[in-house]
Chain A
Amino acid sequence: MKTKLLIIIAAAIFILGIGGSLLVLLLPKKQAVQIKHGAEVLYTFDLTQEPDRTFEIKTDDGTNIIEIKDGKIRVSEADCPDKTCVRMGWLNSAAMPVVCLPHHLVIEFADGGEDGVDAVAE
């Protein structure tokens, strides 16, 4: 009896998970992008206005090479052990910040920035 209840709970969690994933995938894309190291914001960009370039982010945790091209951003190289950040590719959805867990680095879409969406709305 208890087992059946638990099976139903597990199935419900699974379905909620699928629903949540779809919802997150449908989130609207934003223009402003932030690069953060832990809680500290290192850079804020408006990707539509950024020239194509590559640059290095060096922190106590390690080094990541960031590439901006055609209004897209990605980690092109990193010296972290798992390279998940590199394999995640271009940042293309608000749902999927590019994350380098070993280096505590996050690239994500954000609200505004100095001259971002918020400033225009005001």
Chain B
Amino acid sequence: MDVKRLARLGVLTAVALIIFIVELQIPNPFPIPGIKLGLANIITVYAVYRFRPVEVCMLVGVRIFLGAVFSGNMMALLYSACGSLLCLLGMLLLKRVIDEKHLWLASVFGALLHNTGQMAAALLVMQTPSLLLYYPFLVVSGCLAGLFTGLCAQLILPRLKKAGF
């Protein structure tokens, strides 16, 4: 991997972290565990369509770990790691089927997979099947949040291309 590519990945990771930290400061109107907008995933979705799978995994891995360190919520690391793993796997596969014009769709599926991974982790850790009752709410919020972040990424994609990034 050349230096320029590495630097770009570094900048993207930093931007994703900043977005993540800023979003933490915005009070969540839906106090349900697992429901959030996930604005930092704009960067993830963008990276999936612009970088190699290994590079995307590195970016997301570093972002999740540092995000947990900065927010002081190490327990959340387990949930977000499981969610992201599933989400990344799914999106890297979907990328082959869904073209850039339908990036938002890949993002919706990514968000759904993320919520599914989180739910699986929570079920394993808490051993409480009634947590599954949250799942429909996570599905609805995941669709909406994924659509929003996906559309954001879609707006950013041609602009960064023009800027030569």
Q: Are B109 and A10 in contact (CB under 8 A)?
A: yes
Q: Are B136 and A3 in contact (CB under 8 A)?
A: no
Q: What is the size category of the interface that chain B forms with chain A?
A: 35 or more
Bound state CA distance, A82 and B109, in angstroms? Answer: 26
- Note all chain B residues with C-beta closer than 8 A to A96: 32, 133-134
B47 within 8 A of A: no
Chain A interface (Cβ < 8 Å from any Cβ of B): 2-3, 6-7, 10, 13-14, 16-21, 23-24, 27, 36, 38-39, 61, 81-82, 84, 87-89, 94-97, 99, 101-102, 104, 106, 108
Q: Are B140 and A18 in contact (CB under 8 A)?
A: yes
Q: Are A14 and B125 in contact (CB under 8 A)?
A: no
Closest Cβ neighbor of A20 among chain B residues: B136
Bound state CA distance, A3 and B100, in angstroms? Answer: 11
SS of B interface (majority): helix
Query: Given A23-B136, A88-B32, do A3 and B128 touch, yes or no (CB 8 Å)?
Result: no
Q: Are A84 and B33 in contact (CB under 8 A)?
A: yes
21 A-B residue pairings within 8 Å (CB atoms): A3-B102, A3-B105, A6-B109, A13-B139, A13-B143, A17-B143, A20-B136, A21-B136, A21-B137, A21-B140, A36-B126, A38-B125, A39-B126, A81-B71, A81-B73, A82-B76, A87-B31, A96-B32, A99-B131, A102-B76, A106-B126
Q: Are A97 and B128 in contact (CB under 8 A)?
A: yes
Closest Cβ neighbor of B68 among chain A residues: A81
B48 within 8 A of A: no
Chain B interface (Cβ < 8 Å from any Cβ of A): 28, 31-33, 71-73, 75-76, 79, 94, 97-99, 102, 105, 108-109, 112, 122, 125-128, 130-131, 133-137, 139-140, 142-143
Bound state CA distance, A110 and B20, in angstroms? Answer: 36
Q: Are B133 and A3 in contact (CB under 8 A)?
A: no
- Note all chain A residues with C-beta closer than 8 A to B31: 84, 87-89
Nearest CB of A to B124, in Å: 10
- Note all chain B residues with C-beta closer than 8 A to A6: 94, 97-98, 102, 105, 109
6 residue pairs, one from A and one from B, having the closest CB atoms: A20-B136, A17-B139, A39-B127, A87-B31, A102-B75, A81-B73
